Structures are given as structure tokens and as C-alpha cells.
Structure 1
Amino acid sequence: MQAASAEMEFERAAVYRDRLAALSHVVSHQGINPQTVEEADVFALHQEAGQACVQVFFFRTGQNWGNRAYFPRADKAMEPGEIMASFIGQFYDDKPAPRLVLVGHEPDELDLLSAALSERAGHRVEIAAPKRGEKKDLVDHALQNAREALGRKLADTSSQGVLLDGVARVFGLDAPPRRIEVYDNSHIQGSNPVGGMIVAGPEGFVKGQYRKFNIRSTDITPGDDFGMMREVLMRRFSRLVKEHGVRGDTASPEGEVGPWPDLVLIDGGAGQLSAAKAILDELGIDDVPLVGVAKGPDRDAGREKFHVPGKPDFMLPLRDPVLYYIQRLRDEAHRFAIGSHRARRSKDIGRAGLEEIPGVGPTRKRALLNHFGTLKAIERAGLDDLASVDGISAATAKAIHDYFHEGS
């Protein structure tokens, strides 16, 4: 790393730096180094309050190569052996098992599972539930980790439940929301417009249900945030009605986040809220609570104003936990929308180079590439570096910089 840095190969030095950090992380997790176990995966299951945690430790060449906690969705009536068999079978669905798998609970149909793993891995796989010795110590250690991980998750879920109770109280909902959808838009002077939707529930952010919407309409004036929001909500809720019927027609399984939102937060004030309500009215949807979250003066966090249809606008006390929670939701929606926008913009930059940036024609584009060498280097350049290029004024340098760094 130092040699690369001395040669001014800073990107290569950064790669070495990241590798050192990764190696340090691995070494720091090697506190347990068994004497009698060369290669094994260790599975331990802990159940509490209707939830389950499976802690997995990985041992290779006699060293601990790390561990990870998993929280499988399992029916409360399932026995530990049934959960363990199902989890292990899915865990090795896309990877070979080591020759030894140690478990805290013997999985159902152990022989059949062992034979299936052996055939997939191309070598004999033994599944054992040790009763004594060092192998039992490894399982016990994994079980302790599973117990602690599930305890932390239950505590987080409890805190989340308190927050959702507060959300219901603040916005006058009949019950704590199980699915909150938050919408935000991102663009630069109307270019590469993208809408983003994030989802949150009793267990936090549900990232697998995030959605991005590339704005398609050619009738929307560049920069028209109201028009963008109308398109996003029309696409989202018309599809929701088509796939799931009206709200309340289908009940989601216990413990899962259903398809219909119990609360929709719009990043914006009264205008954005009116645009959102008009779309839902057009679709005949009148039972989805809507709230507009307007940024405070000078975008001050903590001074947000909340807009609810048919009610006076209001603000929350600065130290109200619900306010912090709403800020986290809004920030996550903004992060997701910005990230989606940048990904779309990067594709366009790759196709069109710098041509979409106002004030950058062929001559300036050539000057920038001659000076920096690559588009990536131009994207990373600071304002002073951009302004130092022949033919690039301070205003043009700012336009280029803003194009690449909007929202950061």
C-alpha cells in the first residue's frame, strides 16, 4: 500500500487498504480456534417470543472464519428439529457443505439430509449434535451468540413497536401501521428524473420491497415535481389495485408486511399532498392515510411541518421520538431516490459523455478529457480542479460539479 502511494497510484493503494481492513476484520473474529476441528460449520438455534435465530459459525483450517445470525420465518408450532432441517437444506442450496456440520438440535430426517448434502458437495457430509468435548463447546458458544442476537432483535422490535404506536397517535390512525410507504423524487434540472418508494414496518426497513420509478411521461415539464409524483403514485396504486384488489380484500400472513400501505408519507408540502390525494381519489381509493412532510426553513431538521388532508398543519416537539423516526424514514427515501437517480444518470453519462451538462460543448468536453483523462476522474474532481482547465469558467465548473454531486 505504501509503495503504491509513493508511486502516486492512489486507487491501487486504496484497494490494498481495503484488503488490509478486511483481513483485520477476519483476524478479529478468530478468537476461537479449536484444536480438534479442522473444517466445520456450526449451527445453533434459539427460540423466544415466537421468533427464531440461527447462529452459524464457520471454521476452516482450524480457525474461526467468522459467524452470522439468521432470523428464519418459522411457524410458532414448528419444533427445533424441523426448523433446523429446513434451514440447513436452504443454507446449502447454493454452496457445498463442509465435511462436518455441527448442530445444537438434531435436524429431522438427519440421514436423508446428510445424503442430500453429500451428493451435492461431492464428498461425505457428517451432521452431528455433539454431547461433550470441544465440539460441544463450539455449539454452546454459537447458542450463546444466537440467544444474544435474538435478544437484541426483540429489543429493537419492541422499540419499533413503541415508535409505531406513536406514529398512530400523531397522525390519528386506528392502529399502529404495519406498512409505511415513503415517496421521494430526484433529478437535476429535470434530467434523469426518478421516483423512489421505500417501505418500513414493525421490524424496520423492508428493503426487498423498495421500488424505483423511471419517469416516462413526455408531457411532464422538466423539474415538475408535482407531475413526477402524480406519475409515480398512479403507476404504484393502479398496479396495486390490479394485483391485490381494493385495500382490505386480502389479509397478509401474521408477522408479514402486506401489500397495501397503512400510511403514505410524501416528501413535500401541501402541493405535493394535493397531487397525491388527487391520484388516489381518481382511482377510488379513500382509505389510505396520506401525510405530507415539508422541510423546515433552511431545510432545518426538527422543524418539519406535517400536512394531513382535512386537518390543520402542525409540527412536533423537537425531542419527540416520532419526529426522529419520521426524519429517518424521509432520509432513507431521499438516499434511495438519489442513488437510483445517480445510477440512471451514470448510464446516460456512459452513453452521452458530458453532453447533457449545460454549457459543456465539444470543445470544453475535449479540454476536460485532455486534462483529466477519464470521465471518472472528471466526476471526482473538485471545483478548483475543474476551474483550472483552459476554457472552463467558474460557473461552468460549478455546473459540472453540481451535475455529478447533486444531493451529496
Structure 2
Amino acid sequence: MNDGDTRPTGHACIQSYLRTLDNSPGVYRMLDAKQAVLYVGKARNLKKRVSNYANPNGHSPRIDRMIRETASMMFLTTRTETEALLLEQNLIKQLKPKFNVLLRDDKSFPNIIVTGDHPYPMIKKHRGAKTEKGSYYGPFASAGAVNRTLTQLQRVFLLRNCSDSMFETRTRPCLQYQIKRCSAPCVGHVSQDEYRTLVADAERFLQGKSTKVQTQLAAEMEQASADMEFERAAALRDRIRALTQVQAGQGINPQGVAEADVIALHMEGGQACVQVFFIRANQNWGNHDFYPRTGAGAEAAEVMQAFVGQFYATREPPPLVLLSDAIEDADLMAEALTEKAGRKVELAVPQRGEKKDLVSGALRNARESLARTMAETATQAKLLKGLAEAFELPKVPERIEVYDNSHIQGSNAVGGMIVAGPEGFVKSQYRKFNIKGTELTPGDDFGMMKEVMTRRFSRLLKEDPERTSGTWPDLLLIDGGAGQVSAVREIMEEMGVGDIPMVGVAKGIDRDLGKEEFHRTGKPVMALRHNDPVLYFIQRMRDEVHRFAIGAHRAKRAKAVGATPLDDLPGVGAARKRALLTHFGSAKAVARADLKDLKAVEGISGNLAEKIYDYFHERG
């Protein structure tokens, strides 16, 4: 509470809201003296729930701490408790209150799509909204799981994976045909009916009907052999072998569970790991682990409920969700998921049989994953502590930001920032900065770093001037020596953030790995012992930022190399650009063409031809 502020806090503060509440369902927020949200909860009866908090007795240590810090509350009433549950999970993800359980990794999972808008459908990986026409199969646990399955499916079913534009322009089969992963429909090596049969077989496999596909292929192989078509028989044998490999790679395939997510939770030492296995078409399509923040000591039932609510907030639930632990409001959650999916969704904690075995397998994975993570976290904690001691930092850093620039003689310059902390590299926090300064001399690394720092801290000062969000760094590592450190320090002092510790990492004598020199403002140059683990840690961070910055630079350069003057033409999309390039042969020829020739291009109207002509000739 601020000096001079006489408003009550804790139980008294919560008690003061009771007279304004009724028995409606809804969502409540508890806030501290600085108006930061401490906790978001839902209630079937707001007055009854808040009166429980107003009672000073019977709370866990975690809830007691939360009540003591509460200085105000906010309320939103809803029509139903289901609506309150959905709103609660959305607010938790948005506000990230410190006493709530929070799913921190909100990644999307890839699918396989068999496209539906072409006479010869393609099979490919798809991530994101399902807006493209076609049949979707998934989710798969990772891009690697999809890629492995796609490679094998292409060997079995010989479906194309090239873009439509590439398909239309082929005059001879590509490498995929040569290595027996495509039937080359682009050049007529397979008829449309034969290709449709391959597509139907692939879809049957993805729907879990692999036995039928295998039986059919075996029958075809025997027939080909009987007809003395030995080359065709050998090709069918190879496809059967590839299909067997796909099935073997999917691990344990349940017989009695066609479509389900298996979610298992293991908690230890205040940390939690949740394993999710995806079962689709009676096949195991991989698993992924999550490490939710446990809200300063929540119990298993609350952790599981929060995970399920937040996990399916942006994903479609399957008909069956198998859980290792019961959740607090199972019926309510099932109702909410059913409403979201538009069909019945069942939540179950199996006690026996195949479903129990699936949960036990997921639980074993959760336990092993958490053990590995805790060991890695302990090692990381030692490194961060060693880093703080080596550079005499005021505290052990929770967030380290590392910066580097990448360019070729100043062209396509990109600044890169990576983030490291107690859990290692935080890739979701990486940022790239396209260098915009028009007055910079090509190759001016000092100027580039100044621009990056100005943009980074201007944004932080605008978004979080009080430094309460956890996005402010405790240490900056700059790739460079005394000059870079001086240039950056000057900028930071001007912006009023000069209190943030900063270290420049220079290559040192003979630019040898292990002889790095460390530069700090107002302190002598220092080095670390050659075999010091902290030195290896710094080298890893520097290598990671270098990799990230170079990758961003290469992507920018590739985009620039592939760019043409046609990219900026008003009213000219991909199809018209292709028509212009096909007609004239190059972008330069389009720019030189006269109006009559432009009008002759298929798909280019007279009005658009005039706009294209004016665009190039007005520019001189």
C-alpha cells in the first residue's frame, strides 16, 4: 500500500466488496496496490466465493499470501458458469497473474493436408488456421514427426509435394520421381484415375485403415508377379515395406482408442510437467511435454484443470480426453469443451485396461522429462550464479539479452537479440531488427548497435516503464569490445536505463576461442579461466546470437535477391506477375515493354496495362 493510502488490504479489502455482489456466476480478479493482477478466478456464485476469501481461516499458505497482497478486486458477471470458465482461462492467458497456473508454451501443432483444389492433390505439412481447401489429419506432436511421416507416405503412395505453379511448368520429372517418392503426374506418368486411387489409399491410411491398404497392395503385388510384371511387383513390395516402416515408427498403436488426447501430469519440487500424447485413427502421432507455471504452489487438480482449459482455448478438442488426475470441475470442463467443439467431448480418468496403460505411459514420460529438466535447471542455476560472481552483478540474472549484427558490407543489415535465463534459451523471446538507418555508413557496426538498442529500450520504456513485467534484462551481452560498449552505454545513459549491467565480449588475443576479453564501463578488461564453465556458457550464448543474426540476415538477403520490380506493381498479384514473366521472359523486359505489348498479355486488362506502363515510365 502506498504512503498515505488508507484503503484496506487483505481480508478487510475483500470483505468491503461483499455488499455489492449478488449470486451471479462470473469471473473475479484480485489486484495488488500497484494494480497488477494477482489472480483470476471463476465462480458459480460470486458472492459466496468472495465471502470465502473474506474469512481469515482455512486457507492454504499460497492463498493466504494472495489474500494479504490483495488491495482491490474487479468482477465480470456471466450468464452461465461455463461462460465464466472460458472467460477465466482467456484472462489468465492474457494477464498471466502470478498466483494462477499458467501454460507458458502456447505453440501450435502441425497437421498433414491432402489438398482438395487441384485435379492432382498434393500432400504437405500445414500449420495454423485450416483455411485451405482439403482434408486435414492431425495434430502431430512436432514438425519432425510430420516430416518423417510425410517422407514415408510419399514413398508408399507417391503423391506430389510440389507447388501448383511448379506442377504446371514441369516438362520432365523432378528428383522426387527419380528417388521413387512421386508418381510424376505433372508429366503424365500416371493417369488422373490412377492418381486418385493413390490419394484414396493415402487418406485411408491416415484414417487408420492401414490394414486394408496393406492387404490391397499385397494382392496387387501377387497379381503383378503372376502376370510376370516383375518391375511393378518390386515397386509394390517397396511400398509395402515403406508402409510397415511408418507403422513401426508410430510406436504403440492402441486398438480400442480411435481418437483421443492423453494428458498426464507429474509434480515434484514445486515444478510440473504435463505430457500430451495425440492418438488419431488408432495411431500414436507423437507426444509433447509442457512445463506450466504452478501458481506458487497449486495442487494437482488445479494444475490439471488450468492446463486443460488453456490448452484447448486455441485448439479443437478430440472426442475423448484421458487424464492422469481428476480436475476440479470435470462436468463443467466437459460441457465447455463440448460447446467449443460442437460435438460431445468426454473427460475420463481411466482406472484399468488399455486406456489406463496409455495414461501410465504418458505419466512415465512426464516423470522422466521433469527429472531431466530439473537436472538441467540446477546446472543452469549454477552457471547464472557463476556469471553474477564473475562480473560482480548486483543479483543473479533472470533474463540475459545477447546482441549481434549481421551484414555483408552494410547490405541487408539485421540486428539479432536472443534471451537466456534459468530455463536456458527462451526462443519465443528472440527478436530481429531490420536496420533502418539511412544515414549509416555501410558496415558501421557501432551505428547499427545504437539503432538496435534505441529501438529495444524505447519499446520497453513505452510498454513497461515500471519494469514489472519480467521483460527487462538483468544483463546485456554485446558482441564487441570497448568501442561497442562505449557506444551502447552512451545510448543507454541518454535513455535513462544506464543502470542495467552490460558486458562486451571481444575475441581477444589472436581471435582464438577461449581467449575472450570482457569489457565493462569503468572497469579494467578481464578474462575468465580457460576451462571455466561460465566461459563455455558465454561462448554458447554468443554462438547462438551469431547463428540467429546470420539466419535473419540470410533470409533478408534471399528475399531481396528474389525480389523483382514487379513486386510493387499495384493490382498485380502472383498470377498476373507469373503471366507477365511468362510473356516477356524477365522483369526488365516488362519494364521496357510498350503499352500495346502489355495489353496483349493474357489476364492483363487495358486499364491495368496502362497502370503498369505508367508505373515504370513515370519512374524514368
Say whether the fold is shared (TM-score over 0.5). Answer: yes
Contact residue 51 and residue 76 of structure 1 kept, 8 A: no
Deviation at 1:8, TM superposition (A): 8.1
Structure 1 position 10 matched with structure 2 position 222:
no
Q: How has the CA–CA distance of structure 1 residues 239 and 95 changed in structure 2, closer, same or farther, with 3 Å as cutoff?
A: closer
Deviations 1:67-93 (A, max 9, x none): 111112231332222222222222223
Change (3 A) 1:218 1:96: closer
In the alignment, structure 1 residue 122 sits paired with structure 2 residue 342: yes
Which residue of structure 2 lines up, in the alignment, with residue 131 of structure 1?
A: 351
Shift of 1:103: 0.7
Q: CA deviation at 1:56?
A: 1.1
Cα 1:322–1:15 change in 2 (3 A) is farther
Q: Cα gap change, 1:300/1:8 in structure 2, threshold over 3 Å: closer, same or farther?
A: farther
Mapped pair 1:264 → 2:264: no
- Aligned match of 1:104 in 307, 324, 327? 324
Tell me the residue number matched to 2:397.
Answer: 177
Equivalences for 1:148-163 in 2 at 5 Å?
148-163=368-383
| Aligned residue-pair number | 345
Which amino acid in the other structure matches residue 344 of structure 1? K
Q: 1:315-350: CA deviations, max 9, x gaps? A: 222211111110111111111111221222222222
In the TM superposition, 1:55-66 aligns within 5 A as 55-66=275-286
* 1:152 to 1:133, Cα distance in 2 relative to 1, 3 A: same
**Any idea what SS the aligned residue of 2:274 has?**
strand
Q: TM-score with structure 2 length normalisation?
A: 0.51
Matched, 1:321 2:486: no
Deviation at 1:351, TM superposition (A): 2.1
- State the SS of the aligned residue for 2:328: coil
How far the C-alpha of 1:352 sits from its partner, in A, is: 4.6
How far apart are the structure 1 equivalents of 2:556 and 2:285? 37
The code of the aligned residue for 1:91 comes to F
Specify whether residues 177 and 56 from structure 1 end up closer, same or farther in structure 2 by C-alpha distance, changes over 3 A only. same
SS at match of 2:496: coil
Note closer, same or farther for the CA distance 1:242–1:96 as it changes in structure 2 (3 Å cut).
Answer: closer
| Residue 140 (structure 1) shift | 1.5
Which residue of 494, 506, 522 maps to 1:294?
Answer: 506
CA distance in structure 2 between the aligned counterparts of 1:339 and 1:126, rounded to whole angstroms: 44
Q: How does 1:7-406 map to 2 (within 5 A)?
A: 9-10=174-175, 16=181, 27=247, 30-245=250-465, 249-252=466-469, 258-297=470-509, 299-352=511-564
- Structure 1, residues 237-256: CA drift from partner, whole Å, max 9, x if none? 233223322xxx4444xxxx
Between the aligned partners of 1:15 and 1:335, the Cα distance in structure 2 is 35
The 1:313–1:148 alpha-carbon spacing in structure 2 relative to 1, beyond 3 Å, is same
Q: CA 1:183–1:26 in 2, change beyond 3 Å: closer, same or farther?
A: farther
- Cα separation, partners in 2 of 1:259 and 1:91, compared to 1, 3 Å: closer
| Matches of 1:286 and 1:120, distance apart in 2 | 49
How many angstroms does 1:15 deviate by? Answer: 10
Given that 1:157 and 1:203 are in contact with CA atoms closer than 8 Å, whether structure 2 keeps it comes out as yes
Contact 1:26 1:66 in 2 (8 A): no
Whole-Å separation in 2 of the counterparts to 1:27 and 1:155: 34
Q: Distance in 1 between matches of 2:276 and 2:303?
A: 14
Distance 1:93 1:326 in 2: 38
Does the C-alpha gap of structure 1 residues 23 and 73 become closer, same or farther in structure 2, counting only changes over 3 Å? Answer: farther
Q: Which amino acid aligns with 1:81?
A: A
Give the whole-Å Cα distance in 2 for the aligned partners of 1:142 and 1:91: 17
Shift in Å, 1:301 = 1.8
Q: Indicate the SS of the match to 1:46.
A: strand
Deviations, residues 287-309 of structure 1 (Å, cap 9, x unaligned)? 11111111245543212111122
The structure with higher relative contact order (CA 8 Å, sep 6+) is 1
Q: Measure how far apart 1:171 and its partner are.
A: 0.7
**Distance change in 2, residues 1:287/1:48 (3 Å):** same
Segment drifting more, 24-33 vs 111-120: 24-33
* TM-score relative to the length of structure 1: 0.77
Q: Deviations over 1:117-152 (max 9, x none)?
A: 223333322211112222222211211111111111
Supply the AA of the counterpart residue of 2:514.
G
Distance 1:43 1:250 in 2: 36
Q: Is the 8 A contact 1:105 1:129 kept in 2?
A: yes
**What 5-or-longer segments of structure 1 have no aligned partner?**
253-257, 354-372, 375-408
Separation (CA, whole Å) in 1 of partners of 2:505 and 2:354: 57
Which whole-Å deviations, capped at 9, do the CAs of 1:27-66 have from their partners, x for residues lacking one? 4553323333232221111111212111111223333222
Return the index of the structure with the highest Cα Rg: 2
Structure 1 distance, partners of 2:552, 2:244, is: 32
What one-letter code is carried by the residue in structure 1 that aligns with 2:286? G
1:186 and 1:349 mapped to 2: Cα distance? 17
Residue 11 of structure 1, CA deviation: 6.2
Instruction: Tell which deviates more after alignment, 98-107 or 83-92.
Output: 83-92
Q: How has the CA–CA distance of structure 1 residues 329 and 12 changed in structure 2, closer, same or farther, with 3 Å as cutoff?
A: farther
Contact residue 29 and residue 64 of structure 1 kept, 8 A? no
* Structure 2, unaligned runs of 5 or more: 1-153, 161-171, 183-238, 566-584, 587-620
**Whole-angstrom distance in 2 between the partners of 1:25 and 1:291:** 51
RMSD: 3.1
* SS of corresponding position for 1:286: coil
Local SS of the residue matching 1:105: coil
